[in-house]
Amino acid sequence: MISVLTPLPVLLPLLGAAAALLVGGRHPRIQRTLSILVLSAVLTVSVVLLVIADRDGAAAVSVGDWVVPLGIVLVVDRLSALMLVVAATVALGVLVFAVGQGSADGDEETPISIFHPTFLVLIAGVAAAFLAGDLFNLYVGFEMLLTASYVLLTLGGSAPRIRAGITYIVVSLLSSLVFLAAIALVYAATGTVTMAQLAVRLAELPEGTQLLLQSMLLIAFAIKAAVFPLSAWLPDSYPTAPAPVTAVFAGLLTKVGVYAIIRTQTLLFPGGALDDVLLWAALATMVIGILGAVAQTDIRRILSFTLVSHIGYMVFGIALATTAGLAGAIFYVVHHIAIQTTLFLVAGLVERQGGSTAVDRLGGLAKASPLLAVLYFVPAMNLAGIPPFSGFIGKLGLLEAGIADGGWLPVVLVAGGAMTSLLTLVAVSRVWSRAFWRPPAQAPADDTARAAAADAGPERRPAPVAADGHGGSTVVDVGDEDAPLPQDRQAARRAAWERHTAVATATAPAEDGLDGDGAAGRRPLRPLPRVMVGSTAAMVVVTVGLTVVAGPLYGVAERAAGDLRDRTPYISSVFGGEEVP
């Protein structure tokens, strides 16, 4: 049965994508139903695969029945099955969210006829990467998901998306080229690209060659996973995409890189030659990433930086190279995929409710929409690692594994990890206290006016800040020193900015900027579409559910980590217990 089921997570989305493309924009309802059905099927298949893999251990399927080292091999072990289940879950949640957004907005934000097929191809690529039994298929899986992600990131082709998309595409292309060159060198050195065979043959190479190959693979994967020195592209490109796209990118794409790092460090190069380098990289990723998050003022960018930062936890667990560390890392990957996706979906809802994701322009959301406040608060606390949520359990596992390792460097990382957790709390609670908690009238006028000037385009410089730190009026008179614009355009722009501020703070423009909280007329904006709120709420329930099932889940993670450390289950599943040629 497993030989029938294993290719399905790749095949179903691909066929679904073709069908969705054929149906096209003419029958959007059919297209939506089709994509949701396909992803539900993928989720079902993945759950069955996980149950089988957890019961029977790793299994390999040679596609087309070719002899093993010659044909394409798909391998399902506990790790890949677990990743498939989580990926399918968040993909389904995001798709439902996107459907809700699409039917609420029309095709402006996410042109539906393109969105659905591309999204399905993305999921097929993710599944192909998780199931790949050889390096080259891993590369092909990466390329599938990357090409789909290029399209999704630049949906609509607006100027900011194009600008962000170009950075993202060029960086991704570079990492793919490094990966491909690494594959070429691996093939030159060993004469194979099948991972199970490489696991045996790479160990026979001279140490210098091994080190070169390992570092090339790690560099390629570290770019995709956004590990610190190679992470600058992520906060630059993710926040501009439509909310569901950012959500699925944040959840899945970096984790595929982390998955590849896990395979490299456990299956291909178990010697631990670069563990110390990875530990330092993990520390830098955690600390620098979270400092970036604290500095940001836009919710999506804050979340992007926390995403980078928390990749550090996973790399930490991998670099420990102990079963406990790997188990912690795997659990953390699962937790983080769900939580980060959920938070980006919530950011999408905040943008709808408040008209902006800039923290400085938001206020009073908790009063305007208590449900939204709950939907933000629970996953935010989970991300920061507040007990009893799954974030706490994952971090605790990693920190314990670090202490148990005994060296001084892991202890430094434990301290860094604890600090990162606290700083995450600072970052997310700052969003909470500003966007959700404070009365809208307290939004600092000077900053918003400056932001308005920045938004207004480069024809004018931003207004000078009032010396006392808050400008007093919502609109600072800008542009006097340049005075390049005709008065009517200036007035029009000012009116536009007033409208924008009113939307952002969910109030009508107040007469008195200091206590506009009262009778100035709080009016709710367009109500949040039920499907979007429902899917986000479902994702929040999933993240809380991770806490409930943390025991069994951690058990699976520990068994998966045991398999990874042992390596024989993977290798013998491919070669059926025979001698590896």
Q: What is the smallest separation between the CB atom of 382 and another protein, expressed in angstroms? A: 26
Query: Could you say whether residue 167 binds another protein (CB under 8 A)?
Result: yes
Query: Could you say whether residue 459 binds another protein (CB under 8 A)?
Result: yes
206: left (phi over 0), alpha (psi -120 to 50) or beta: beta
Q: What is the smallest separation between the CB atom of 218 and another protein, expressed in angstroms? A: 18
Q: What is the DSSP string of 402-418?
A: HHHH-SHHHHHHHHHHH
Query: Could you say whether residue 458 binds another protein (CB under 8 A)?
Result: yes
Beta bridge partners of 464: none
Secondary structure percentages of the chain, helix, strand, coil, to 5: 75, 0, 20
Q: C-alpha dihedral over 382, 388, 392, 394, to 10 degrees? A: -100
Alpha-carbon distance of 15 to 84, in angstroms, equals 18
Which CB, 204 or 512, lies closer to another protein?
A: 204
Query: Could you say whether residue 495 binds another protein (CB under 8 A)?
Result: no
Q: What is the smallest separation between the CB atom of 63 and another protein, expressed in angstroms? A: 15
Contact predicate 125/144, CB 8 Å: yes
3 state SS of 467: coil
Query: Could you say whether residue 444 binds another protein (CB under 8 A)?
Result: no
Query: Could you say whether residue 461 binds another protein (CB under 8 A)?
Result: yes
According to CB under 8 A, which one of 22, 30, 51, 184 is a site residue for another protein?
184
Q: What is the smallest separation between the CB atom of 177 and another protein, expressed in angstroms? A: 5
| CA torsion through residues 324, 325, 328, 333, sign | negative
Q: What is the smallest separation between the CB atom of 348 and another protein, expressed in angstroms? A: 17
Which CB, 165 or 417, lies closer to another protein?
A: 165
Site string for another protein, 227-266 (x = CB under 8 A): ---------x--x---------------------------
How many residues bind another protein (CB under 8 A)? The answer is 47
Residue 204 phi/psi, 5-degree rounding, is -85, -5
Query: Could you say whether residue 466 binds another protein (CB under 8 A)?
Result: no
Q: What is the DSSP string of 554-567?
A: HHHHHHHHHHHHH-
Tokens encoding 279: 């530990």
Contact predicate 221/260, CB 8 Å: yes
Query: Could you say whether residue 566 binds another protein (CB under 8 A)?
Result: no
Q: Considering only residues 282-301, where is the footprint of another protein by CB under 8 A?
A: 295-298, 301
Stretch that binds another protein, among 331-339, 460-468, 547-555, 560-568 (CB under 8 A): 460-468
- Where are the alpha helices (H) located in 57-158, listed in sequence order? 78-105, 112-131, 135-153
Residue 275's alpha-carbon distances to 265, 444, 505, in angstroms, are 9, 46, 48
Query: Could you say whether residue 483 binds another protein (CB under 8 A)?
Result: no
What does the binding site for another protein look like in residue numbers (CB under 8 A)? 136, 140, 143, 147, 150-151, 154, 157-160, 162-163, 165-167, 169-170, 173-174, 176-177, 180-181, 183-185, 187-188, 193, 236, 239, 295-298, 301, 447, 450-451, 454, 457-459, 461-462, 465
